[in-house]
Structure 1
Amino acid sequence: MGMNNLKIAWRNVLRSKLFTLLNILGLALGFAGFILAYLYINRETSYDRWNPNYDQIYLVGLSYQGSHTDLTPPALAKVIKTRLPDVVEVGRVSYFPWEMPFIHDHGEAMVKNWKAADLSIAKIFGVEAYGLSLSDENRPDVNLVTPQISQTLFPKQAENVFAPRQIAVQNEQSGFFPHIHGVTKARGLSNLTYDAIFFKPDLAGDAEGDPLQYQTYIQVKPGTDINRLDQKIKEIYQQEISQHHHTVTSAFAKGETYLDPLQNLHLHPKHGSNTGYLIVWALGILSGVILLLAGINFANLMIAQAHRRAKEIGLKKVFGVSRIRLTLQFMGEVLLQCLLAAVLAWALVILCRNGLQKWLAYDLAGFALDNQIAWQLLVAALLTALAAGSYPAIILSGYHPVNILKGNFQTSHRTAWFRHALLIFQFIIALVFISGMLVLNRQLDYIRDGDKGFDPAQVVQIKNAAILNNPADFKPIRDRMQAYPDIEYVTATTSIPGGIGPAEKEFQHVDQVRKADHIAVDFDYVETMGMDMLQGRSFTEVFATDSINGAIVNETLAKAFGMQNPIGQTIRGCDTDFQIVGVVKDSKMQGFEKLTRPTVYSINNTCGQFKTEILIKIKPGRAQQTLAALEKDWKSINRLDGEHFRYEFVDQNYAALYAQQQQLESAFRGFTILSIVIALMGLFSMSAHSIVIRQKEMSIRKVLGASVGQLFIQLNKSFFRIFLVANLIALPIAYLLVDQWLATFAYRISISWWMFALAGMGTLLVALLTVAYQSVRAARANPADSLRDE
């Protein structure tokens, strides 16, 4: 008998330690999710915050009929500077849309991000250089590169004692031999990024005749009335700048300016996508929910195990320990476990850092030394201890010692409603996560595999620095490339999917005026891109007028103008009367988030963009061989471009449009797994506790003839009810949430009932497996083992 009691006591000790370990592990998983989320959030919200002028910097953009652009005419900056005393600095930024080789005798560097800017931009964005002062606007041009580019170009040159060095850009025969005057100092994360940046006292030069567009930034005096300043800039643009000849051709000539604060530009700029902003909020909420789930597990298990500490509590109260002291004791224990869990989470993320970095697609390299995340984790641990430990501590410290010592203590019924409510909440969150994961995967599969209106497979962008606006200049290059047997089509264009966007212009048909994108192309563009011709024909050299004023439009433009028979009709834009020769199916070249815009394709580049992008379509399975052959002969094929052969696959460029959505998918998948694991840990603990306190009841039922199946149902029917209630609450919530997320896409999947049914059935199956082993073991146990004490 004594040996049996010893075994039971030993089992209870082990079970208690197991529950404590599960508690700490559950909290650690919650804190690990918190760490991973806030590493990303801290990084994404830190852009330019190191800048002392952060709150006074604004981008000046243009808007028209709901569309926004970050580009403005160059003359606008000069007028703002001379007319508005509240603006202390004005600067313009332009960029070179080509990947360029910078060449020096001692090295060669490929520069992908090459910008030009007014010298005042250095003040606005805090750009500094070793050994150079950039504060004098009267100084001559100053060309800077980053330390990484400098090390590649000038491996023997110390960056802090830099002497100006002359380089060749593109090749030694290009005729462009600028000097590099210095190396930029490291800065924090910024919206102004560059590999090389060339500063000029006056970037735009002749503002009246300059057809290019620039980003315009202003820095205002502290305390400036931004609304009033915004209105003044609108008036300047509408009364003076929009009347310039080169601006009138833009769709934004009839629009107005807007001010977008620097703090918005990275995550939710008016001219771009707010996906980054949504991801930051989503990760913040998800990490909080995961931590809440872990805290719920903790509270649930403490209450469930209260009977194990009943006599301890009773004796302490008999000896005069106050309720406040008991509450503080329990809170101290909770705090200790939370801190242990936080340290364990930190260690888990460090150990799994490489795998997590690849999975989540963001840098975790320096997180262990990040003081910000350390403080955030400490605060999260303290708040979790307070939230998760308060209720159990108050409940445990409030027990009456007389009842406890008489043996009348029982918590299972008094607190069952609370424990069940917490478990329901856990399953609600898990079901919402699983349903959301299924819908998110389906939407991203639709983006990857759905109808894009063009076929990017086997299409390669050959990077090129030559301007190919004139079809006659491009024809020798095209003919040479088409001579390769595995190249099906060759063309040139101003815009590619996932690359530089098309120019937005204004077009007129009869008495109607509409905004439309304009893309300048060369012959065989429709065929190269695999677009479907709905009416008419593609461009061909057979018709000489195609190069002069021929146009192909998409179906959205034809509908916008109400054209029943578009072929042969005329639309006017960019001071040219275009005659429509064909209509193509709408294509989602700018992604699935935005509706396809009316689009005009023409060979004539009268709208002003540079036709620099070379596209080729290669036969399936022959890409590597063909590209190797092109690289070997490139110098003789494209003498204008030089010796450097560079390329990218268009489908990879297009996929980059959804890099952030894929990042959200990875993070959401991770949080889904965490939510399921934490919920199942809670279910496992509650199931084990329920079996322990009902063990004698089950033994009596078995003695009275209950079968194993009946006992299994009896032990778990409360959990089945919990699961049913959780489904009834979770699925409508999940539907509303995923529908809101899908609303951010112009082209989206339909939500089907089976997605939610699959989530519910999958969760039920895993839940059954979680409780099955313990329940069946308890149901098959010999009743004499638990009843022999009675």
Structure 2
Amino acid sequence: MNNLKIAWRSVLRSRLFTAFNILGLALGFAGFILAYLYINRETSYDKWNPNYANIYLVGLSYQGSRTDLTPPALATAIKAKLPEVVEVGRVSYFPWEMPFIHNDGEVIVKDWKAADLSIATMFGIAAHGVSLADEEQPEVNLVTSGIANALFPQDSERVFEPRQIALQSKESGLVYNIHGITKERGLSNLTYEAIFFKPDLAGDNLGDPLQYQTYIQVKPGTDIALLGHKINELYKQEISQQHHTVTSAFAKGDAYLDPLKNLHLRPQHGSNTGYITIWALGILSGVILLLAGINFANLMIAQAHKRAKEIGLKKVFGVSRSRLTLQFMGEVLLQCLLAAVLAWGLVVLCRNGLQKWLAYDLAASVVNGRIAWQLLTAAALTALISGVYPAVILSGYHPVTILKGNFQTSHRTAWFRHALLTFQFVIAMVFIFGMLILNKQLNYVRDGDKGFEPAQVIYIKNTALLNNPADFKPFRDRMQAYPGIVYATVATSTPGGIGPAEKEFQHVDQVRKADHLAVDFDYVETMGMEVLQGRSFTETFAADSANGAVVNETLVKAFGMQNPIGQTIRGCDTDFQIVGVVKDSRMQGFEKLVRPTVYSITNACGQFKTEILVKAKPGTTQQTLAALEKNWKSINRLDGEHFRYEFIEQKYAALYAQQEQLEAAFSAFTVLSIAIAVMGLFSMSAYSISIRQKEISIRKVLGASVSELFMQLNKPFFRVFIWGSLIALPLAYLLIERWLDTFAYRIEVHWWMFALAGILALLIVLFTVTYQSVRAARANPVDSLRDE
């Protein structure tokens, strides 16, 4: 009866180990699926387009700065003089939300673009029942099906006669025809909810100060380096001085080409955070899968002696080593496939929660054939890598030694098992270290000193072109009549929104690039900026409206000014007199250095004041917004009843949205790596105790205490922890420093952060091994020794 119980426990323990194996692999595969769902989506932009490899964006660079905007004349010159360019197209975007209004419905359009008709050919844009091939058409205005459904809810037909809509309000006088509905495309860098085409977007206005995105499609096999040189020479010789605002820094810059394949993840004119995230997720998912494979190999090796007699008998009956190897590899592959199916099921069941956590849509891509093939490939590779070594060891046993009862493998393979376990803990501790630092850096970005105070500041999205302070005064007076509003102002740029204009400014004999923002009175107060010297703008001094300027401390340092108040800087054909110096404001986020900045009431540099900002009293925000919405038509009489707003805090948060995605993904992989490491440690601890049960009993009979037995049993695992920490600490430091270097403003890494992570890892080790070890140390030795 006792032998039966022992046998039953052995079978149960073996099945438990197998279940842990499959569950550990499933967690690894789940991490792989999540990572590659995101990677597949982010790397698929425009790949469906047959012109994908031959489309380039033309941009401008100057002294390290880059822009994706070019003068309209550049596209015309490229088309006329460079025969290797097949198509040239310009895109202009309206940077504000706009109500589209029809008698049957209305909708707020957030992404509205205008483009040359050639853009439709380049980017595969087609419409239901409307031809985009006829260049004789004066215009073709299209909306997506979602916008069409909101505007024309009575019409289910996709082919219809042109419908007239009003923009902004029915009284605005802005009337356009909608000619059709665009067909669905794959993911693309050229997004839109509404896109209005013209055969020639700029027409005869080649000197238009407005800038456009310029795309070109080249002939296959074109020498891109040579073409880029030609376009640069064309820009410098024929465009920059004649058709570009001369005071712009980029008028003295160079043209460059950026391939379409780079525009989504690593555009030259923007951030490469998306590209870093893709690589990080790919590496992290591979590491997690490797950890799961190591767990599997470790447990297979650990349990090798339990199958020794089976292998010995098979070899006696003539089963070859190659057949045994194939048998064991088949078992490994079967378990890997079971784990992959389980992982897929877990992701499908949890996709709604994962979508909210990771902030991307899983619904469509989780059943995609591409991810299925990737998962099968990963399962096969995992089976091959993690199963080869155990299969070779198992199939190589000598039958005579086994059947004599002298075979023992646990001690011979202990070093290898502990090495694999150490590797697991190195990875898990790197994740823990990384997670703590990443979280601390992003908390610094969220809560650190921004140089301005976004709390209670409301950005009103409604359009207003208000360059003259006198034009804005009636708006300001009406808004400030509400008791909840402290300040109201208008500017050409907002934090996280439209970027400021980059211009050249001169002081004495020095010329420097600087950002320029045209603002209104009370801007400094609305944004909560700190005045370091002098004063902010005031209506008391008439000269403030004409040529007064407030500058930031970086500009003062750039020009080496000792006493900046009253000094003159020249830019945009205007002599600005400095009336105040404000503290640097990180309005473009923590990844970019604050640039020299000039604020002025006069809009001498050409941008329109469109961004209305309101600062509300604490505790009155909701009431103030409700009052503004109710009475907006009386405040802005041409704007209708469509009051729209956004909190500056939310707008600013969008700047580090991708970093928060990385944080969420890293958190998920940290949990997975810890779970897999804990499973490996738990299984190895349980296995170690099972093969040392008689040793423990003998030591206990000879007088060993529970604490002594606990230390004896877990000494190898504490050794794993120590070695893992020594290896993980410098590795984590190097990786963390490289990531932190992507921020212009970052935290300092201190020793106590690593100490805290080490303590967390030690607690995880203790939590994992304590129960089994204490239970084994307190067990009655008679139960183990009665059969000896």
Q: Give the alignment's TM-score, normalised by structure 2.
A: 0.99
Partner of residue 264, structure 2: 266
Q: Secondary structure at the match of 1:160?
A: coil
Q: Residue 74 of structure 1 is aligned with which of 62, 66, 72?
A: 72
Aligned AA for 2:226? R
Equivalent residue, structure 2, for 1:511: 509
Structure 1, 148-157 or 433-442: larger mean CA deviation? 148-157
1:694 equivalent in structure 2: 692
CA displacement 1:484-516 (0-9 Å, x = unmatched): 111110100010001111111111111111111
| Higher mean displacement: 14-23 or 241-250 | 241-250
- The 4+ residue runs of structure 1 with deviation greater than 4 A are none
Once the two structures are TM-superposed, the CA of residue 245 in structure 1 deviates from its matched residue by 5.9
- The residue correspondences of 1:402-481 to structure 2 (distance < 5 A) are 402-481=400-479
1:227 is displaced (CA, Å) by: 0.3
Quote the residue 2:391 is aligned against: 393
Secondary structure (helix, strand or coil) at the match of 1:161 reads: coil
Match status 1:768 vs 2:785:
no
Separation of aligned partners in 2, 1:600 and 1:69: 19
For 1:710-751, what per-residue CA distance to the aligned partner results, in whole angstroms no more than 9, with x for missing partners? Answer: 111111101111110000000100000001000000000000
Counterpart position of 1:26? 24
Aligned AA (1:733): L
**Does the CA contact (< 8 Å) of 1:251 and 1:506 recur in 2?**
yes
In 1, Cα distance between the equivalents of 2:592 and 2:528? 21
- For residue 490 of structure 2, what is the aligned residue in structure 1? 492
Q: Secondary structure at the match of 1:761?
A: helix
2:210 aligned counterpart, secondary structure: coil
User: Is the 1:466–1:640 contact (alpha carbons within 8 Å) kept by the matching residues of 2?
Assistant: no
Instruction: After TM superposition, list the pairs within 5 Å mapping 1:602-621 onto structure 2.
Output: 602-621=600-619
Offset from partner CA, 1:545-581 (integer Å, 9 cap, x none)? 1111111110001111111111111111111111111
Q: Counterparts of 2:94 and 2:159 in 1: how far apart (Å)?
A: 28
The aligned amino acid for 2:761 is T
Q: Secondary structure at the match of 1:101?
A: strand
Partner of 1:196: 194
Which whole-Å CA distance do the structure 1 matches of 2:482 and 2:103 have between them?
35
Unmatched 5+ stretches in structure 1: none
CA contact (8 A) 1:498 1:657 kept: yes
Q: 1:208, 1:244 within 8 Å by CA — same for their partners in 2? A: no
Which residue pairs with 1:721 in the alignment?
A: 719
Cα distance change of structure 1 residues 651 and 423 upon mapping to structure 2, 3 Å threshold: same
Q: In the alignment, which residue of structure 1 is the partner of 2:744?
A: 746
Residues 235-254 of structure 1: CA distance to partner in whole angstroms, max 9, x if unpaired? 00111111126421211111
* Matched position secondary structure for 2:175: coil
Q: Determine the C-alpha separation between the residues in 1 that align with 2:501 and 2:5.
A: 80
Matching of residue 153 in structure 1 with residue 151 in structure 2: yes
Q: Distance in 1 between matches of 2:247 and 2:184?
A: 40
Percentage identity across paired residues of the two chains: 80
> Aligned match of 2:2 in 4, 23, 26?
4
Task: Please list every run of 5 or more consecutive structure 2 residues that lacks an aligned counterpart in the other structure.
Answer: none
1:48-447 superposed matches below 5 A = 48-244=46-242, 246-447=244-445
Pick aligned residue for 2:565 from 553, 567, 583: 567
Distance 1:209 1:781 in 2: 90
Q: In the TM superposition, what is the alpha-carbon distance from 1:333 to its structure 2 partner?
A: 0.1
Q: Does the 8 Å contact 1:162/1:183 carry over to 2? A: no
The 1-side partners of 2:244 and 2:684 are apart by: 72
* AA partner of residue 266 (structure 1): H
Counterpart-to-counterpart distance in 2, 1:427 and 1:168:
63
In the alignment, which residue of structure 1 is the partner of 2:518?
520
2:551 aligned with 1:556, yes or no?
A: no
Residue 662 of structure 1 is matched in structure 2 by 660
Q: Does the CA contact (< 8 Å) of 1:150 and 1:159 recur in 2?
A: no
| 1:186-212 CA distance string (max 9 Å, x none) | 000000001100001111123443010
Instruction: Write the letter of the residue equivalent to 1:622.
Output: T
Write the distance in 2 (CA, Å) between the matches of 1:103 and 1:463: 17
Q: Contact 1:162 / 1:182 at 8 angstroms: preserved in 2?
A: yes
SS at match of 1:12: helix
Instruction: For residue 138 of structure 1, report the CA deviation from its aligned partner.
Output: 2.5
Structure 1: how far apart are the matches of 2:563 and 2:636? 41
Partners of 1:131 and 1:531 in 2: CA distance: 54
The question of whether the paired residues in 1 share the 8 Å contact of 2:244 and 2:251 is answered with no
**Alpha-carbon distance between aligned partners in 1 of 2:191 and 2:365, rounded to the nearest angstrom:** 22
- Work out whether residues 142 and 179 of structure 2, in 8 Å CA contact, stay in contact via their aligned partners in 1: yes
2:91 corresponds to which letter in structure 1? Answer: V
Measured in 2, the distance between the counterparts of 1:483 and 1:595 equals 38
Is the 8 Å Cα contact of residues 169 and 638 (structure 2) preserved in structure 1?
no
SS at match of 1:197: strand
Separation in 2 of the partners of 1:476 and 1:206? 36
Which amino acid in structure 2 is aligned with residue 150 of structure 1? A
In structure 2, distance between residues paired with 1:336 and 1:220:
50
Partner of 1:47: 45
1:30 is aligned with what amino acid? G
Task: Give the AA of the match of 2:18.
Answer: T
Structure 2 Cα separation of the partners of residues 331 and 508 of structure 1:
73
TM-score by length of 1: 0.99
C-alpha deviations, 1:33-53, integer Å up to 9, x for none? 000000000000000000000
Question: Matches of 1:787 and 1:195 in 2, distance apart?
Answer: 78
Distance apart, 1:159 and its partner CA: 4.5
One-letter amino acid of the counterpart of residue 37, structure 2: L
Counterpart Cα distance in 2 of 1:739 and 1:136: 56
1:704 aligns with 2:693: no
1:420–1:722 CA contact under 8 A, matched in 2 = yes
Supply the distance in 1 between the matched residues of 2:440 and 2:367 (Cα, whole angstroms): 38
DSSP 3-state at the match of 2:704:
coil
SS at match of 2:245: helix
Q: Which amino acid aligns with 1:426?
A: Q
Question: Matched residues in 1 for 2:177 and 2:552: separation?
Answer: 46
The letter of the residue matching 1:129 is A
Contact 2:491/2:517 (CA < 8 Å) preserved in 1? Answer: yes
Which AA in structure 2 matches 1:376? Q
Aligned partner of 1:58: which letter? Y
Three-state SS of the structure 2 residue aligned to 1:499 is coil
- Asked if 2 retains the 8 angstrom alpha-carbon contact of 1:429 and 1:675, the reply is yes
Task: Write the distance in 2 (CA, Å) between the matches of 1:73 and 1:411.
Answer: 75
Secondary structure in 2 matching 1:167: strand
Aligned residue-pair number: 788
